[in-house]
Amino acid sequence: MSLVRYKVKDLLEMQAGKEVLAKGWVRTKRGNREIAFIALNDGSTIKNIQIVVDKTPETEGVLSKISTGSCICVEGTLVESIGSGQAVEIKAKDITVYGECDPMRYPLQKKDTSFEYLRTVAHMRPRTNTFGAVLRLRSQMAFAIHEFFHSRGFVYLHTPLITASDAEGAGNMFQVTTLDLGAPLPRNKKGDIDYSKDFFGRRTSLTVSGQLEGELGATALGEIYTFGPTFRAENSNTPRHLAEFWMIEPEMAFYDLQDNMDLAEEFIKFLVKYALDNCREDIQFLNDRYDPELVERLESVIGTEFVRLEYTEGIKILEQAVADGVQFEYPVFWGADLQSEHERFLVEQHFKKPVILTGYPKDIKAFYMKQNEDGKTVRAMDVLFPKIGEIIGGSEREADLAKLEARIDELGMSRKNLEWYIDTRRFGSCPHSGFGLGFERLLLFVTGMQNIRDVIPFPRTPKNAEF
């Protein structure tokens, strides 16, 4: 009778005595003259299962083929372990080597395990403990996001990745074209590129946000969310920016800014709690290895009420800080877009907890935000987090047709491309709000990792699109 294969995660929780089959990749092999110990990992948990092999003339051949990184199948008995660190181990009866691994060439054999080095071997780094933990957490968080919205009756809306409109009006878009860039481009009479000859018959790009289509969904279905890849061609080489990142964008009819803030706060707390409840071993590993305050920081966020503060008040606090001798790289004045150093000062130094900043100057925010009566500010909200700065950006939306059109014109944007969006205000316009959570920014917080390139399997950043 053939044996059942168990995952390492399950094996480690089973009673000794059973005959089992385990498959995975070798983390280490060590031993003495009589016995070999193999630490086997299959990605199901941060922990390895120990395989004990008697060294005999029969096992000698197979053992000589096993080294760090090789892939094996082990048949044996689950026995109580005498060594510390694990309750059970497998006493091997038979081992098959699926794939050998040349120790001279295996990229993870090197002594250099810096994150910089591992990024150059991103095709192999999921096999390390750290990236195993991060990628399991990433998957769990994606599931938790769906769980949160699903349990609240939100509709999961799929918005397009290829678009003809710039949702943020910031011009940071990657163009999509099938025109042959190696040949002379088709031109119209004015000498401009003739996009009618392009695949879509018009100029298109990869989306910077699903929000505009999200609003179409919310003004029909009530409450929706999107969750998908987003692309920004900003040349920002920072530990918090990716050219391709994932964003979660809920959009809700009949929510005002207060409701929006309440939802954002509840959402993040739910996700952090979910991580602590369901990914404890991986978080503990990251805590012990890199960031001794990680668990404490996560717990403190769940238990604390976020500060809610007007931008104008935030600027006053920052100006006072400057007067008291705090040095910032970028200037602080009313009207300035806050830099991550300013956001982190408010969160880490001043309030020592997450802050939701509202009422930003309209000139530094997108065209769709609801304007306040003062004519200067908009009902924007940014959620600012320790170590990260901005983790969420959102707003109540301008529901008034005339004001929205005027703002689009004022910013010199093309109304023609946005007529479909403006229709939501023409036909049964309603108050509504929404926000976007950067998935990798959330993961930075939850894993305690320092660089956004290390919380996505294959990062896309300026001058880097490998793997």
Footprint of ligand 4AD on this chain (CB under 6 A)?
167-168, 209, 211, 232, 234, 241-242, 245, 247, 249, 390-394, 434-436, 438, 440-441
Q: Cβ of residue 219: shortest distance to ligand 4AD, in angstroms?
A: 14
Residue 393 Cβ, how far from Mg ion at the closest point, in Å?
Answer: 3
**Least distance from ligand 4AD to the Cβ atom of residue 247, Å:** 5
Shortest Cβ distance from residue 167 to ligand 4AD (Å)? 6
Using the minimum distance from each CB to Mg ion, give the nearer residue, 169 or 393: 393
Residue 392 touches which of ligand 4AD, Mg ion, none (CB < 5 to 8 A by kind)?
Answer: ligand 4AD
Stretch that binds Mg ion, among 50-58, 160-168, 360-368, 393-401 (CB under 5 A): 393-401
Q: Is residue 351 within 8 Å of residue 364, measured between CB atoms?
A: no
Q: Which does 455 bind (CB under 5 to 8 A by kind): ligand 4AD, Mg ion, none?
A: none
274 contact, one of ligand 4AD, Mg ion, none, CB 5-8 Å limit per kind: none
Q: Of 102-110, 236-244, 259-267, 386-394, which part binds Mg ion (CB under 5 A)?
A: 386-394
> In this complex, which beta carbon is closest to Mg ion, that of residue 393 or of residue 459?
393
Considering the complex, what minimum distance in angstroms separates the CB of residue 285 from ligand 4AD? 25
Contact 385, 391 (CB under 8 A): yes
Q: Which of 69, 393, 394, 448 binds Mg ion (CB under 5 A)?
A: 393
Which listed option, Mg ion, ligand 4AD, none, makes contact with residue 247 (CB within 5 to 8 Å by class)?
A: ligand 4AD
What are the φ/ψ torsions at residue 32 (nearest 5 degrees)? Answer: -130, -160
Near Mg ion in 308-367, by CB under 5 A: none
- Cβ-based nearer residue to ligand 4AD, 195 or 311: 311
* Span of 160-168, 186-194, 277-285, 389-397 interacting with Mg ion by CB under 5 A: 389-397
In the complex, what is the shortest distance from the CB of residue 335 to Mg ion, in angstroms, rounded to a whole number? 16
- 442 residue type, one letter: L
What does 434 interact with, of ligand 4AD, Mg ion, none (CB < 5 to 8 A by kind)? ligand 4AD
Which residue is at the shortest CB distance from Mg ion? 393
Tell me the three-class secondary structure of the chain, residue by residue.
CCCCECCHHHHCCCCCCCEEEEEEEEEEEEECCCEEEEEEECCCCCCCEEEEEECCHHHHHHHHCCCCCCEEEEEEEEEECCCCCCCEEEEEEEEEEEECCCCCCCHHHCCCCCHHHHHHCCCCHHHCHHHHHHHHHHHHHHHHHHHHHHHCCCEECCCCCEECCCCCCCCCCCEECCCCCCCCCCECCCCCECHHHCCCCCCEEECCCCHHHHHHHHHHHCEEEEEEEEECCCCCCCCCCCCEEEEEEEEEECCCHHHHHHHHHHHHHHHHHHHHHHCHHHHHHHHHHCCCCHHHHHHHHHCCCCEEEEHHHHHHHHHHHHHCCCCCCCCCCCCCCCCHHHHHHHHHHHHCCCEEEEEEEHHHCCCCECECCCCCEEEEEEEEECCCEEEEEEEEECCCHHHHHHHHHHCCCCCHHHHHHHHHHHCCCCCEEEEEEEHHHHHHHHHCCCCHHHCCCCCCECCECCC
Binding partner at 122 among ligand 4AD, Mg ion, none, C-beta below 5 to 8 Å by kind: none
Q: Of these partners, ligand 4AD, Mg ion, none, which one is at the site of residue 435 (CB under 5 to 8 Å by kind)? A: ligand 4AD
Q: Which is nearer to ligand 4AD, 24 or 214 (CB)?
A: 214
Amino acid at 446: V
Please, which residue, 250 or 393, has the CB nearer to Mg ion?
393
Which candidate, 280, 287, 342, places its Cα nearest to that of 315? 342
Residue 215 binding: pick among Mg ion, ligand 4AD, none (C-beta 5-8 Å cut-off by kind) = none
Token readout for 433 is: 């709000």
Question: Smallest gap, in angstroms, from Cβ of residue 246 to ligand 4AD?
Answer: 8
Binding residues for Mg ion, rule CB under 5 A, total 1
For the CB of residue 153, give the shortest distance to ligand 4AD in the complex, in Å.
19
Nearest approach, Cβ of 415 to Mg ion (angstroms)? 23
If contact means CB under 5 to 8 A according to the sort of partner, which of Mg ion, ligand 4AD, none does residue 249 touch?
Answer: ligand 4AD
Cα 249 to the center of its chain, rounded Å: 13
Residues near Mg ion (CB under 5 A) are 393
